[in-house]
Amino acid sequence: MPIEGFDYKAFAANMAEQAKDLVPKDLQDREKEYIVKTLGNFTMLAGEALYNDDSLNLSVEQAVFITQIIAEWSFHKSIDLVHSGILPEYWDGIMQKIAFTIFEVAKQAIIRKIPQEQLLQAVEHHVVKVYKSSIEELEQKGIIDENTKNRAESQSNIDAMAQQAQAEQQKQAQEAAEQAQNAQNDAEKRKEERQNKRKMREQAASIQKTGVTQKQMKLMSLALVLKILSQDKVTTILNKFEQSDSQAIAQYMNMADLESHLDADLISGCLNEIKEYLPQKRKLTKENVLGDLLRIYRNAPREKIEKVIKNERPLVKRFISQAYDGEYSDLPLRVAGIVAQYVEESV
């Protein structure tokens, strides 16, 4: 009796409909139509044969399994034939041999209760064998040449789709790993921000307890650093501050017990904050030296600059003079940098 519950017509139609979305986009419309039509026809024929074969006594699941194998291999090998270079009039003959082989191998494997994995391996082995022998037969008959034979035998859409699926899985895994890493980085960043905010609140509370303002704390922290520098460097740095701040720093430097007024964490926090506003050391180049001098010229009268270099050597005077015109003389670059810094500090 027919297999109850096995609607092979609906199943074949469903498989053909799914195939429309999987057909390679680079194929022509007639080629796509052939692939979908071939899959639908062979699936329908196989399903009908199984449905009406009372001797097999198959379950619905077994009938669906065999029919699905034929549908999938019909799809892959019809694509291989389209890409093979073999003329379309020979495609049906090859596909019929493949479909019949799958049907018989799968049916016998089910009857003999061979495990599903071994069944699939056996089907693949015989499909490849029949496909290859059919191609070689066409060559022997002179229908195709050796190049076409080699091209046809090298086609394997099932392997191509497996590689594509693997690549997509790897891509998804990589994207998931990157997202996880980004999430972890964001979490660590938020944690660090919370810690910094808490630390700033603690520092602010500590400062309030000492009765010292935030600005005074920064000036004290800077004073601690300046205490270990040479007097020339200290003078250079203090000249860049407003007079009131410069005087305050100098007073703090003279405090014998300055360290006792400051907490180590507070000092570190203040210095890090000050560091963000310090200018970055630039590479010593002719362009940078000239740029610095031109900036000085815009902010200071020429007479004042000439007064600064009044007692300098002629080579230095010529360098300063040419710099007004945006020209660089033959003064060594290191010396030029020192001269530019000297002029800036002197005016």
Residue range 267-317, pLDDT digits in tens: 666 666 666 545 555 678 888 888 888 888 888 888 888 888 888 778 878
DSSP 278: S
**248 within 8 A of 216, measured Cβ to Cβ:** yes
Q: Are 110 and 58 in contact (CB under 8 A)?
A: yes
Q: Which range among 48-52, 67-71, 211-215, 323-327 shows the weakest confidence by mean pLDDT? A: 211-215
Query: Residue 207 has what pLDDT?
Result: 44
Of 119-123, 135-139, 324-328, minimum mean pLDDT range: 324-328
| pLDDT tier, 91 (very low <50, low <70, confident <90, very high otherwise) | very high
Work out the average pLDDT over 247-264: 75
Q: What are phi and psi of 213, to 5 degrees?
A: -75, 165
More confident residue, 118 or 226: 118
pLDDT above 60 for 130: yes
Q: Distance (Å, rounded) from C-alpha 331 to C-alpha 319? A: 7
Mean pLDDT of 257-274: 66
Q: Which residue has the higher pLDDT, 323 or 80?
A: 80
Residue with the larger pLDDT of the pair 330 and 266: 330
**331 against 140, higher pLDDT:** 140
From 83-97, 164-178, 316-330, the region with the lowest mean pLDDT: 164-178
Of 87-91, 208-212, 284-288, 338-342, which one has max mean pLDDT? 87-91
Range of weakest confidence among 9-13, 77-81, 166-170, 245-249? 166-170
Residue of 72, 74, 29, 64 lying closest to 162 (CA atoms): 72
Band of pLDDT at residue 94, cut at 50, 70 and 90: very high
pLDDT at 222 over 60: yes
The span from the CA of 282 to the CA of 292, in Å, is 11
- The CA distance from 343 to 346, in Å, is 5
| Mean pLDDT estimate for the chain | 82
- What's the pLDDT band for 35 if we cut at 50, 70, 90? very high
Greater pLDDT, 331 or 15? 15
Task: Give, in order, the Cα–Cα distances in Å from 204 to each of 194, 195, 200, 223, 261.
Answer: 15, 14, 6, 19, 14
Closest CA to 70 of 34, 118, 38, 30: 38
The predicted structure's pLDDT at residue 125: 92
How high is the pLDDT of residue 277? 47
* Mean pLDDT of the 68-78 span: 92
